[in-house]
Amino acid sequence: MNQHHKSDKDIQLELQQVNAAKEDPRHFNVLYEKYFKSIYVFIYRRTGDEELTADITSCVFLKALINIKKYEYKGVPFSGWLFRIAFNEVNMYFRKNKANRIVSIEQGGILQMAQEVEITNNTEALKLMTNALKKLDGDDIHLIELRFFEKRSFAEVGEIIGITGNNAKVRIYRIIDKLKRLMKL
Partner 1 sequence: MKTKQKNALKFETDNIHLSDEQIDKHKNFNKLIHEYQAATKPLYKTPLYKNKKVFLVVLIILLIIFIIVEAIQKEENNSPSQNIEQTK
Our finding on whether 126 is near partner 1 (CB under 8 A) is: yes
Using CB under 8 A as the binding rule, the residues of this chain from 11 to 50 that contact partner 1 are: 25-26, 28-29, 32-33, 36-37, 40-41, 44-45, 48, 50
Q: What are phi and psi of 148, to 5 degrees?
A: -100, -40
Which of 15, 20, 111, 141 forms a contact with partner 1 (CB under 8 A)? 141
CB of 28 to partner 1, least distance (A): 8
Which one of 17, 91, 94, 182 is in contact with partner 1 (CB under 8 A)?
94
Which positions ≥6 away from 79 have C-beta within 8 Å?
A: 4, 6, 14, 35, 38
Alpha carbons within 13 angstroms on the beta-carbon side of residue 180 total 11
CA dist., res. 44 & res. 173, Å (int)? 27
- The reply on whether position 7 binds partner 1 by CB under 8 A is no
Q: Do residues 69 and 19 touch, judged by C-beta distance below 8 A?
A: no
> Which of the ranges 71-79, 82-90, 126-134, 150-158 carries the binding residues for partner 1, by CB under 8 A?
126-134
